[in-house]
Structure 1
């Protein structure tokens, strides 16, 4: 699976920079994963114009894609995502393993984090910014949310420099080319998972120059 080409195709169609790319998957083998592209931009929701009325622009909704490939284990997604993050010039790729929150005494923040990870913003302050998704993905997402609540889930995140806002906002990275990206192969290899709730950060960028502080 070439996640880099998949995201690049949507970036070309949207003509907007990306803030981040996340992927979430319930902690069970052979389960679909949801890839979410978080756009940075504002657009008017209607072409309607009214005299002397300034219709405000709203945040562009996230785009969600369902990845239906067969996974022998959730961490099998690490290498395809490492390759994508590497090509997009991301400074790092983060993988976070979350415990099941459908248990007695679990804080509400865990349930909210799970819903956000799978692109469900219902009831949130930014609920006016719905997720763009297909009908099939919407149906499957409810099943995936329940599965993640009972079994836990894994969430990956990287912030693109190439084609993203980090090309100008992030610190200098000596590993990227003029486009802000990198060419394959990615030298970083996937690491085994931890036990329970664990966070793994793959460092991709590097700084070779001397940093002087004033």
Structure 2
């Protein structure tokens, strides 16, 4: 399923706004793209009712989606993410190139970051689960990424998100916070740069301080 269509369907099903969308993919031909939807909202964790006891709501867990491809090229997954970020009204899409952490001398912080990137709760907090996707497959991809390295992406959606009305005016956005045209930004080939930021929003008006 198209990344944008899948995210839109999840927003409709959850009935909650998104705080951010992140994605991870191991540096390996046709490795699946793992997409994580980070929700802004709280819900009761149990239907249990106790007289005189106000049970607190808990933060809604992130959702995980897996896109298996096949990917026509190494940039195909990023192209799909650019399209989703553009249509969901994001200001930018950030890409991070992470090296393999299963190597001699690699700090423990890189292994920790790798586990988090693939939805593995490295800190072991029971209140931060990840819903959806195949956990076994995610952990297999995490082990592959630890040996081969991986890429991460992040964007904050306006349409269906909590960012409506926040930030500078963006003339490319429609009334619902999304964009209807095709994304004009194309993927940049991997390079020595660890961090690449794709600027998506724009405005045609003079903004005075």
1:204 correspondence with 2:200? yes
Alpha-carbon distance between aligned partners in 1 of 2:147 and 2:170, rounded to the nearest angstrom:
40
| Per-residue deviation, 1:119 | 0.9
1:141 correspondence with 2:135? no
Alpha-carbon distance between aligned partners in 2 of 1:73 and 1:29, rounded to the nearest angstrom:
8
- What RMSD over aligned residues (CA atoms) do the two structures have, in Å? 1.5
Classify the secondary structure of the residue corresponding to 2:165: helix
Alpha-carbon distance between aligned partners in 2 of 1:72 and 1:84, rounded to the nearest angstrom:
18
Aligned equivalent of 1:157: 154
1:192 correspondence with 2:178? no
Alpha-carbon distance between aligned partners in 1 of 2:38 and 2:152, rounded to the nearest angstrom:
14
Classify the secondary structure of the residue corresponding to 2:204: coil
Classify the secondary structure of the residue corresponding to 2:25: strand
Alpha-carbon distance between aligned partners in 2 of 1:212 and 1:170, rounded to the nearest angstrom:
14
Alpha-carbon distance between aligned partners in 2 of 1:168 and 1:108, rounded to the nearest angstrom:
39
Aligned equivalent of 2:92: 92
Alpha-carbon distance between aligned partners in 2 of 1:116 and 1:161, rounded to the nearest angstrom:
24
The alignment covers a number of residue pairs equal to 209
Alpha-carbon distance between aligned partners in 2 of 1:127 and 1:97, rounded to the nearest angstrom:
29
Aligned equivalent of 2:177: 180
Alpha-carbon distance between aligned partners in 1 of 2:111 and 2:17, rounded to the nearest angstrom:
29
| Per-residue deviation, 1:185 | 1.3
Aligned equivalent of 1:14: 14
**Where does the alignment leave 5 or more consecutive residues of structure 2 unmatched?**
none
Query: Is the 8 Å Cα contact of residues 36 and 64 (structure 1) preserved in structure 2?
Result: yes
| Per-residue deviation, 1:164 | 0.2
Query: Is the 8 Å Cα contact of residues 25 and 74 (structure 1) preserved in structure 2?
Result: no
Change (3 A) 1:73 1:98: farther
Aligned equivalent of 1:71: 71
**Where does the alignment leave 5 or more consecutive residues of structure 1 unmatched?**
none
**TM-score when normalising by structure 1:** 0.92
After superposition, give the CA deviation of every residue in 1:152-191 in whole Å (9 maximum; x if it has no partner): 0011111100010111333322210111010121111121
Alignment of 1:10-159 (within 5 A): 10-124=10-124, 126-134=125-133, 137-159=134-156
| Per-residue deviation, 1:75 | 2.5
